[in-house]
Amino acid sequence: MSEWVKICAVSDLIADAGVPALFKDQAIALFYVNDQVYALSNYDPIGQANVMSRGIVGSIKGELVVASPLYKEHYSLSTGKCLEKPEVALTVYSVKVEGGDVWVS
Amino acid sequence: MKKKLVVVGNGMVGHAFLDKLVNSSAFSDYTVTVFGEEPRVAYDRVYLSSYFSGKTAEDLSLVPTGFYEANGIDIRLNEKVVAIDSAAQSITTASGISMTYDKLVLATGSYPFVPPIEGNNRDACLVYRTIEDLEAMKEAATRSKIGVVVGGGLLGLEAAKALVDLGLQTHVVEFAPRLMPVQLDNGGASMLRRKIEKLGVKIHTSKSTKIIEDGETARHKMVFADGESLETDVILFSAGIRPRDELAKQAGLAMGARGGIVINDQCQTSAAHVYAIGECALHGGMIYGLVAPGYAMAQVVVDHLNHKPAAFTGADMSTKLKLMGVDVASIGDPHGTDEAAKSYIYENGPQEVYKKLVVSADGKKLLGAVLVGDVDDYGNLLQLKLNDMDLPEHPDDLILPARAGTKPSFGPDSLPDSAQLCSCYDVSKGRIIQAIDEGATCLADVKNATKACTGCGGCTQLVTSVVNAELAKRGVEVSKAICEHFPYSRQELYHLVKVEGHKDFASLLHAHGEGHGCDICKPAVASILGSVWNAYAFDKKNIPLQDTNDRYLGNMQKDGSYSIIPRVPGGEITPDKLIVLGQVAKDYQLYTKINGGQRIVLFGAKLPDMPAIWKRLIDAGFESGQAYAKALRTVKSCVGSTWCRYGMLDSVKMAIDLENRYKGVRSPHKMKMGVSGCTRECAEAQAKDIGVIATENGWNLYVCGNGGMKPRHADLFAVDLDEATLFKYIDRFIMFYIQTAGRLERTATWLGNLEGGIDYLRQVVIEDSLGIGMHLEMQMQSLVNSYQCDWQQVVDDPEKAKLFYNFVNADEKDPEQLYVRERGQLRPATAQEKLESLAVELV
Ligand SMILES: Cc1cc2nc3c(=O)[nH]c(=O)nc-3n(C[C@H](O)[C@H](O)[C@H](O)COP(=O)(O)OP(=O)(O)OC[C@H]3O[C@@H](n4cnc5c(N)ncnc54)[C@H](O)[C@@H]3O)c2cc1C
Ligand code: HEM
Ligand code: SF4
Ligand code: SF4
């Protein structure tokens, strides 16, 4: 049973980059690319620290990705999958934008 | 019981022999003793003349410090061998040491021939072969104005360069009707003469000196057979070399009619347990006056001692060299001694280029060639000759300028694997392919693995083409594209940004790229924008480009916290500032350490605290150390003349000036500098991208050194500079590096990949050969003028400071950042410690 939580305003996000946020008691990362917002866990499963929101956003063969700022693995923004190590993934959260605010569930 | 091996002579070939022997299995069978007559271990005679342009005797040494000791080789310098008893297998030295041997290697080299002219032993009549000779020349030059070289061959012209470098008005006197009579034909020699005379050296050909007597206006007067005469203060004989075969003669070994120790294809003399190698040896009636054949002989002897089949079957005497800045090359037989041979000549008067080909009667094979003024074709022609390859239909196409039509390019694939590409280190095409198979992925890797291109550098072009072709075959992208989003190299992007005036990533991507960018091209472009426009990393539109280090103006540590590194120019810090650092560290519980760059680092700063921490530091007079940026890191300095008993100049002030000038300049990779106050080099400046060392006469500049993963000693770039010139060269050097380097290429790798290497770099920076010197200086000045402290801007702008938070929607600590107390300070807890939640603290 998922429940939507209001996180922040869209204007708090930075285009083409990530922003860290707290969703309930979980650290998440919000990415704002091509007018769309993506929410993934902020915890880097390989580097073991809450840093994914500080990675560089880009594309690899058409797929939007974020690169870990610690050891540079790439994670898909839409699926959370690690491109270099498919057995590792970030949790993906649902996001909606309503009235200029970002909601996550 | 080990056998005894004795080597006589520690010159270029004698050392090469030991170097090869140590790396072979037979080495463990022998105890090795070496006798050298000179007071020092082997050095590079080929680069002897660079002694006058700043190299020291140590720079010229071929022997890594401690090499002989580490390998248990007993080396006796200043010890001449005076007798060999080949029946008893023993030798005797001048100081009376006697020693038996199982194997003896003679590598005694040669001596300069001084023609039997009356007066040839007068004061300041010298020769040019050893470092002691150089010292004598230097001394004589201090009391002289004019110098004459007797002999216009290869070595004579080298010697003439030395006299010019010593500031003497220089003449060359040659017996034959042309310069370099052995290697050049008349056309090539007269072009060379024209070029050299332009440099102010007077050439006198067809002159035979009869007598040297007291001069009227100078020390000596040389009287020639034709009755003319020439007054001069210094005379340098360079009329050929003679083998040092006196020992062998005394021992009764077989000798050539005109000297030289006769050897067979295994380099054995007439006594089978005695070998002779290098310039003292006579093989097939030839003495080889070049190092490469000597090295080949050394290899044959090492193989023979290892019971491997090997033979020396003669060597190619083709040469390419720069004589007084003039490029000259000679291949095979350039005189067309074969009656039926045909020749082709290309001469370009205005550009002073001369080229000649000699081909076989049927036009199929190359017999010889001469190139003066433009030797780009040398590599191709040499391979055609050495591998006996068929010539194209119109051989003259090979030497005509490319614009005259399509130049037949026989690609690297047409060369056999056995083709020797680098003659200095005998590197074949096969060896290069092997290096690539073993993981080399660029020219610099191949150079490191094989030593190719690191001798005279003449093979660089050819080796580059082989490396690129082989990489391409393996599917390695030799494409210079930095990533999938831009089909351009970093250097090309730099020019696009500058020429088309792109001020942000979006505009560049729109014009020249595709997709969304990535963690390779975005920071690269950010760095270019920084270099070209000094674009501020923290501008909102630049944030998405930055690695987290640049984005948050600190180096991220493993737990996601940051380090705080204020600039401490030259490593000089006042007690008051130290106290502030200590107080801030204490208040924010930061771990404190002195790093390798003479700065103090505060670790463990949390994002939300960073603006406040920096405000306190800036208020105390600190500024950002930019340890997070690809830019100048630190300028390490020694104590210098203000305190140190040995200091020649104030190295600390120089370091501070350097750091303050170049701080903030964004570069392809980080840059480090060092300044030492004397040659003791306590600051280890030669391990830096830019090193400066004080001398009695000013500052010596070293470039392209590196510590880190692939250490490299910096090259001596220029000597005895005053401060203004030093800064001028460094301005130009850094800007040229910024404009031409690849992505994340440190200066050492950049130099390794730069065609023409350090000499080319000197031409650009010192001689301004591209005419861009002033432009580079102006660009640097504009970057210097627009310097801003990154942190000052954050501290001054609440909007920017607001972006340092743990969560956009909550003011809480990061629950993963847990610490453990150790040696009186905090450090990040390990995963295990977090699990056990033992003694961990949330700060
Ligand atoms: C100025 C200059 C420029 C040159 N440029 C080039 C170039 O561009 N390309 C090229 O290929 N070659 C060049 N050469 C030639 C090259 O230097 C020689 O081919 C090379 O040094 C030969 O090496 P070697 O070991 O046979 O002789 P050397 O290097 O002369 O070594 C012989 C050593 O043996 C010692 N010795 C002799 N007799 C005794 C004894 N009885 N007991 C103990 N020790 C003894 C000598 O003192 C000497 O140190 C140049 C030479 C000079 C001088
Ligand atoms: C006669 C020879 C030498 C003298 C008189 C000398 C003198 C000094 C002095 C006075 C210092 C400063 C000490 C201090 O900070 O308290 C120093 C530091 C140092 N010296 Fe030397 N030194 C000599 C040779 C060398 C050599 C040969 C090397 C390296 C190969 C070297 C490497 C260093 C280093 C690495 C430091 C430390 C610099 C730093 O703190 O970062 N020194 N030396
Ligand atoms: S490099 Fe020279 S001047 Fe500097 S500290 Fe060392 S000995 Fe003194
Ligand atoms: S040497 Fe290795 S462990 Fe030490 S600071 Fe550098 S990267 Fe870190």
> Minimal Cα–Cα distance from A75 to chain B, Å?
12
Distance B441 CA to ligand 3 centre (A): 40
Distance CA A32, CA A41 (A): 15
| Token pair belonging to B275 | 């070998």
Q: What range does the domain containing A74 cover?
A: 5-104
Whole-number Å distance between alpha carbons of B77 and B131: 15
pLDDT exceeds cutoff 90 at B471: no
Cα A57 from Cα A53, distance rounded (Å) = 9
Which of B108-117, B345-354, B613-622, B672-681 shows the lowest mean pLDDT across its residues? B345-354
Q: So what's the pLDDT on residue B484?
A: 84
pLDDT of residue B724: 96
Phi, psi of B306 (to 5 degrees): -90, 10
Task: Tell me the two tokens of residue B579.
Answer: 């106290």
- Asked whether residue B660 carries a pLDDT value surpassing 60, the answer given is yes
Whether B678 lines ligand 3, by a CB cut-off of 6 Å, is: yes
* Alpha-carbon distance values, B84 to B33, B90, B269, B302, B559 (Å): 15, 6, 13, 22, 72
Q: Give the Cα separation of B789 and B544 in Å (integer).
A: 20
Rounded to 5 degrees, what are φ and ψ at B568? -130, 85
Strand A18-23, strand A63-67: pairing? unpaired
Angle at B33 between CA B31 and CA B34, to 5 degrees: 150
CA distance B155 to B240: 8
List the beta bridge partners of residue B211. Answer: B118, B223
- What confidence tens digit (pLDDT) does each residue in B726-735 have? 999 999 999 9
Indicate which atom in ligand 1 lies nearest the CA of residue B42.
49
Q: Which of B397-401, B701-705, B743-747 has the lowest mean pLDDT?
A: B397-401
Nearest to B231 by CA among B213, B248, B246: B213
Chain A: residue whose CA lies nearest to B807: A21
What are the residues facing A38 on neighbouring strands? A31
Please give the C-alpha separations between residue B587 and each of B155, B343, B579, B583, B605, in angstroms, as whole numbers: 71, 85, 12, 6, 11
Ligand 2 nearest-atom number relative to CA B598: 41
Per-residue pLDDT at B409: 53
CB within 8 Å: A62 and B519: no
Mean pLDDT of B783-811: 89
Q: Residue B688: pLDDT band by 50, 70, 90 thresholds? A: very high
Whether B457 contacts B759, CB under 8 Å: yes
CA B643 to ligand 3 center in whole angstroms: 9
Residue B756 — pLDDT band, cuts 50, 70, 90? Answer: confident
Structurally, chain A folds into a number of domains equal to 1
For a pLDDT cut of 90, what percent of chain B falls above it? Answer: 56
Chain B residues with CB under 8 Å of a chain A CB are 484-485, 515-519, 521-523, 540, 543-548, 551-552, 556, 558-560, 805-810, 812, 814-817, 831
Q: How far apart are CA B391 and CA B358, in angstroms?
A: 11
Name the phi and psi angles at B166, rounded to 5: -85, 0
Query: What CATH number does domain B3-110+243-305 carry, 2.40.10.340, 3.40.190.10, 3.20.20.70, 3.50.50.60?
Result: 3.50.50.60
Q: State which of B682, B688, B696, B700 you would mutate to test the pocket of ligand 3, scoring each by most atoms of that ligand within 8 A of its C-beta.
A: B682
Ligand 1 centroid to Cα of residue B42, in Å, is 9
DSSP H or E stretch at residue B464: helix B460-473
Q: Rounded mean pLDDT of A71-82? A: 92
Alpha-carbon radius of gyration of chain B: 32
Q: Is pLDDT of A56 > 80?
A: yes
Task: Give the C-alpha separation, B659 to B661, whole Å.
Answer: 5
Ligand 2 atom with the shortest distance to the CA of B645: 5
> Pairing mode, if any, of strands B671-676 and B690-695?
parallel
Contacts A38 to B, Cβ<8 Å: none
- Around ligand 2, the residues with Cβ closer than 6 Å are B 598, 639, 644, 646, 680, 682, 684
> Which pLDDT band, with edges at 50, 70 and 90, does A1 fall under?
very low
Give the CATH fold of the B632-785 domain.
Sulfite Reductase Hemoprotein; domain 1 (3.30.413)
The reported pLDDT for the residue numbered B389 is 84
Phi, psi of B754 (to 5 degrees): -80, 120
Out of A20, A54, A60, whose CB is closest to B551? A54
Q: How far apart are CA B242 and CA B54, in angstroms?
A: 29
Cβ-defined contact of A57 to B544 (cutoff 8 Å):
yes
Confidence of residue B835 (pLDDT cuts 50, 70, 90): confident
B293 CA from centroid of ligand 2 (Å): 43
What confidence category does residue B760 fall into, taking pLDDT thresholds of 50, 70 and 90? confident
* Average pLDDT of the segment spanning B204-222: 95
Residues of A in contact with B556 (CB under 8 A): 51, 54, 69-70
Instruction: For residues A88-95, give the mean pLDDT.
Output: 94
Same fold, B3-110+243-305 and B632-785: no
Highest mean pLDDT among B439-443, B466-470, B695-699, B785-789: B695-699
Q: What percent of chain B has pLDDT over 70?
A: 95
- Among the bound ligands, name the one nearest to the CA of residue B709: 4
Residues of B in contact with A16 (CB under 8 A): 516, 544
CB contact under 8 A, B807 and A20: yes
Using DSSP's 3-state secondary structure scheme, residue B232 falls into strand
* Angle between helical axes of B154-165 and B131-142 (0-180°, round to 10): 50
CA distances from B258 to B153, B243, B245, B282, B648 (A): 20, 10, 11, 10, 53
**Chain A residues within 8 angstroms (CB to CB) of chain B:** 7-8, 12-17, 19-22, 25, 27, 30, 33, 43, 47-51, 54-62, 64-65, 67, 69-70, 72, 74
Burial class for B399, CB neighbours closer than 10 Å (0-12, 13-18, 19+): buried
Q: Let me know if B224 is exposed, middle or buried by CB neighbors in 10 A (0-12, 13-18, 19+).
A: middle
- pLDDT band of B481, cuts 50, 70, 90: confident
pLDDT at B399: 85
Q: What is the pTM of this model?
A: 0.53
Q: How far apart, in Å, do the first and last CA atoms of chain A sit?
A: 10
B169 Cβ contact list (under 8 Å, min separation 6) = B145, B146, B147, B200
**CB-closest option in A8, A50, A65 to B560:** A50
pLDDT at B37: 96
Pick from A6, A30, A33, A56 the residue to mutate for testing the B interface (most B CBs within 10 Å): A56
Distance A74 CA to ligand 4 centre (A): 23
Q: What is the pLDDT of residues B188-202, one digit of tens each?
A: 899 999 989 988 899
The per-residue pLDDT of chain B, averaged, comes to 89
- A43 token code pair: 């915890």
Distance B682 CA to ligand 2 centre (A): 4
A22 confidence band (pLDDT: 50, 70, 90): very high
* Confidence band for B545, pLDDT divided at 50, 70 and 90: confident
CATH of residue A90's domain is 2.102.10.10
Structure tokens at B678: 């004397």
Per-residue model confidence as pLDDT tens digits over B572-592:
999 999 999 999 999 999 999
- Whole-number Å distance, alpha carbon B793 to ligand 1 midpoint, is 63
Query: Nearest CA to CA, how far is B753 from chain A (Å)?
Result: 27
Q: Distance (Å) from the C-alpha of residue B517 to the closest C-alpha of chain A? A: 5
- The closest-lying atom of ligand 3 relative to the alpha carbon of residue B678 is 2
Do A69 and B809 count as a contact with CB atoms less than 8 A apart?
Answer: no
The model's pLDDT over B419-457, given as tens digits with 9 standing for 90+, comes to: 888 877 778 888 999 998 888 877 878 888 888 877 666
Binary contact (A61, B484; C-beta < 8 A) = yes
Q: Assess contact for B759 and B732: CB atoms under 8 A.
A: no
Q: Measure in Å the smallest separation between the Cα of A1 and chain B Cα atoms.
A: 23
Separation of alpha carbons B349 and B342, rounded Å: 23
Write the pLDDT tens digit of every residue in B287-344. 998 898 999 999 999 999 999 999 999 888 888 887 877 889 999 888 877 677 888 9
pLDDT of the residue at B839: 60
- The residue ranges of every structural domain in chain B are 3-110+243-305, 125-239, 490-546, 632-785
What is the four-CA torsion angle of B211, B213, B218, B223, rounded to 10 degrees? Answer: -30
Which atom of ligand 2 lies closest to the CA of B644?
10
pLDDT score at B185? 87
> Residue B651: how many CA atoms within 13 Å on its side-chain side?
34
Average pLDDT over residues B342-349: 88
pLDDT of amino acid B408: 55
- One DSSP character per residue, B647-676 reads -SS-HHHHHHHHHHHHTT-B-SS-EEEEEE
CB contact under 8 A, A21 and B810: yes
Cα B132 to averaged position of ligand 3 atoms, centre (Å): 28
Span of B248-252, B646-650, B742-746, B808-812 with lowest mean pLDDT: B742-746
* Range B801-807, long-range pairs (CB < 8 A, 24+ positions): B801/B611, B804/B552, B804/B607, B804/B608, B804/B610, B804/B611, B805/A20, B805/B607, B805/B608, B806/A20, B806/B606, B806/B607, B806/B608, B807/A20, B807/A21, B807/A22, B807/A27
Measured by CA distance, the residue closest to atom 45 of ligand 1 is: B9
CATH class of the region B125-239? alpha beta
Residue B499, pLDDT > 80, answer: no
Question: Which amino acid is it at B515?
Answer: G
Kindly report the protein residue whose alpha carbon is nearest to atom 31 of ligand 2.
B682
Which helix (H) or strand (E) is B359 found in, with range? strand B353-359
